[in-house]
Amino acid sequence: MSASESYGAFAYAYDQALGQRYFRAVRRLLAEVLQRYPVEGGMHLDVACGTGLAMPFFAGRGFVSTGVDLSTVMLRVARSRAARLIAGDTRALPLRGTFSRITCLYDSLNHMLEPSDLALAFSEIARVMDGRSQFLFDMNHPEIYPEVWGMKEPFVDEGPDFHLEIATTYRRREKLGRALVTGWAIARGERVAIRERHTQRCYERDEIIAALAAGGLEPIEEHEFDPWFEGRTVKLFFVCRKKS
């Protein structure tokens, strides 16, 4: 397994700088899929749940929602949104039983730095699915790595409670995008410094499909997703089931 990609103090600026805006965009896709394949109540699992943004959405639709994330700091922020939260790795889910709907959102699976890790994550997710379960996830479109992660200027955002800068680089040969996240945020009344590095791997669509198959999953829907209405595909969004 490759190194952990758990988020640290970045968690305290995450919602305002990135998470809420992305969830506002992806919730439309989630609502459409839930409408197309209705399920009465049921169990929802959010893998790499981060600050738990997706969990009230599912709870509000009658699901009992559980979140798993590697970062205890992200989970601390999630506590205001959800009760069932577990620290754990996507590649070794600390769970038994099955869930009717599973999500893994905002390119969390691009943190799997080896194709074998991605296949392992998918096989763990398949392990907690039954024949009627569905797994909904997005990953970054491969073209955005050279374009967006290769940009010279850092991403900068700020508000009264945070200042965030994300400087990125992309190495085509390794297919790895690296981010240096710096700034500060107010957490429980105190100003905390943010300085952490994260790495993502760019996956071609065919690599994602191959890892799904290796993990025992198959796509039933695939969408090119433009969350920011920029006129380009930024994410690939999949709806999958367990292979029969």
Ligand X SMILES: C[S@@+](CC[C@H](N)C(=O)[O-])C[C@H]1O[C@@H](n2cnc3c(N)ncnc32)[C@H](O)[C@@H]1O
CA 111 – CA 122 distance, rounded (Å): 13
Which residues in 3-42 contact ligand X (CB under 6 A)?
5-7, 19
E-assigned strands of the chain?
43-47, 64-69, 84-87, 101-104, 134-140, 155-159, 162-171, 176-187, 190-201, 217-225, 235-242
**104 neighbors 47 (Cβ within 8 angstroms):** yes
How far apart are CB 68 and ligand X at their closest, in Å? 6
Nearer CB in complex with ligand X: 60/189: 60
CA 109 – CA 200 distance, rounded (Å): 9
Helix orientation angle between 205-215 and 115-127, rounded to the nearest 10 degrees: 40
Tokens at residue 1, please? 């397994």
Which residues in 183-202 contact ligand X (CB under 6 A)?
none
Tokens at residue 200, please? 């993502």
Nearer CB in complex with ligand X: 6/100: 6
**82 neighbors 39 (Cβ within 8 angstroms):** no
The binding track of 45-84 with respect to ligand X, each residue x by CB under 6 A or -, is ---xxx--x---------------xxx--x----------
Tokens at residue 103, please? 């999500």
The binding track of 98-127 with respect to ligand X, each residue x by CB under 6 A or -, is -------xx-x--x----------------
Nearer CB in complex with ligand X: 114/132: 114
Nearer CB in complex with ligand X: 5/239: 5
How far apart are CB 186 and ligand X at their closest, in Å? 20
Nearer CB in complex with ligand X: 101/111: 111
Q: Is 177 in the site for ligand X (CB under 6 A)?
A: no
Question: For ligand X, which residue of 85, 89, 166, 211 counts as binding (CB under 6 A)?
Answer: 89
Nearer CB in complex with ligand X: 2/132: 2
CA 242 – CA 227 distance, rounded (Å): 27
The helix/strand/coil state of 231 is: coil
Nearer CB in complex with ligand X: 69/202: 69
**68 neighbors 90 (Cβ within 8 angstroms):** yes
How far apart are CB 26 and ligand X at their closest, in Å? 7
Binding residues for ligand X (CB under 6 A): 5-7, 19, 48-50, 53, 69-71, 74, 89-91, 105-106, 108, 111
